[in-house]
């Protein structure tokens, strides 16, 4: 509530600019100008794995043959411009104001949100170095826009691992073995794991396995970007 009042006060006292191009917003535009908003138009995807498809489908051929551990994946788009630029600005430029704008867009694409959101946890050593967990910040914003609860400490990363960037799928899976644990049991059977980028799905798969083992029955993945399959080879 206080956040929204502060935001409204700032908007009324300074010119409103597009979060992407920086040009003034027209009357009725919010966060994005009409031109930049077109970058975030939905594209046909497999609802299960989240990969882009020629047409929308509940499950692609790969998911029918070897389904992921989660049930649905919702994202804003592929790991490409302008999302790559904005995520880089958040993670390395500390431009945290982008998170709420992106969360608002992502929330619109989720028809039946999970009652509980869980961010992908960060190891404490990485957290001390960076000072924040972008997945936790995104979870808080999504929780507000979707009107559901979140628990940011239920999942815990107990082993510090090398960065996943540059690793192939098998290397990513091996890198994350026994890296996570549960601090407590989830109070519901339907949860959503929140992250900024899903690449091969290795990280969220490890978390799904933990949750399924303690009785969670339905798991969604909410992320800003889904890396195209050709990048995952």
Question: Could you tell me the pTM of the whole model?
Answer: 0.86
Going through the chain in order, the beta strands assigned E by DSSP cover 72-74, 77-78, 116-119, 149-150, 155-157, 180-182, 190-198, 218-226
Read off the DSSP letter of residue 232.
Answer: -
Domain ranges in the chain are 36-231
pLDDT of the residue at 53: 95
pLDDT of the residue at 5: 66
Count CB atoms within 10 A of the CB of residue 179. 17
pLDDT of the residue at 4: 62
Q: What is the percent of the chain where pLDDT is above 70?
A: 85
pLDDT of the residue at 10: 56
**β-pairing verdict for 149-150 and 77-78:** unpaired
Instruction: State the pLDDT confidence band at 3, using cuts at 50, 70 and 90.
Output: low
Which of these, 162, 155, 93, lies nearest to 126 by C-alpha position?
A: 162
Six token digits for residue 160: 């510090």
Which of these, 178, 197, 4, lies nearest to 106 by C-alpha position?
A: 197
Count CB atoms within 10 A of the CB of residue 174. 12
pLDDT of the residue at 73: 98
The answer to whether 225 touches 76, Cβ cutoff 8 Å, is yes
pLDDT of the residue at 126: 86
The residues near 15 (Cβ < 8 Å, ≥ 6 apart) are 24
Mean pLDDT for 136-162 is 92
Residue 27 has pLDDT above 90, yes or no: no
Average pLDDT of the residues of the chain: 88
Write out pLDDT tens, residues 44-59: 999 999 999 999 999 9
Topology, domain 36-231: Rossmann fold (3.40.50)
Residue 157 has pLDDT above 70, yes or no: yes
Residue 123 has pLDDT above 80, yes or no: yes
pLDDT of the residue at 21: 87
**Residue 193 main-chain phi, psi, to 5 deg:** -95, 130
């Amino acid at each position: 509530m206080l956040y929204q009042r502060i935001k409204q006060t700032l908007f009324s006292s300074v010119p409103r600019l597009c979060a992407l191009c920086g040009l003034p917003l027209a009357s009725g535009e919010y966060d994005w100008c009409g031109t930049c908003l077109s970058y975030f138009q939905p594209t046909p995807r497999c609802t299960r794995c989240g990969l882009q498809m020629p047409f929308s489908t509940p499950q692609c051929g790969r998911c029918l043959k070897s389904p992921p551990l989660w049930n649905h994946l919702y994202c804003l788009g592929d790991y490409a411009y302008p999302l790559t630029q904005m995520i880089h600005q958040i993670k390395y430029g500390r431009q945290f104001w982008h998170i709420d704008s992106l969360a608002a867009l992502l929330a619109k694409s989720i028809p039946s949100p999970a009652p509980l959101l869980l961010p992908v946890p960060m190891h404490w050593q990485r957290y001390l170095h960076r000072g924040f967990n972008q997945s936790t910040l995104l979870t808080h914003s999504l929780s507000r826009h979707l009107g559901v609860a979140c628990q940011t400490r239920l999942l815990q990363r107990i082993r510090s691992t090398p960065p996943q960037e540059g690793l192939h799928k098998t290397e990513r899976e091996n890198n994350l073995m026994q890296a996570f644990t549960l601090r407590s049991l989830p109070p519901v059977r339907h949860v959503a794991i929140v992250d900024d980028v899903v690449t091969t799905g290795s990280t969220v798969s490890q978390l799904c396995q933990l949750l399924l083992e303690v009785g969670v029955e339905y798991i969604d993945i909410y992320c800003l970007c889904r890396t195209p399959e050709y990048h995952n080879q």
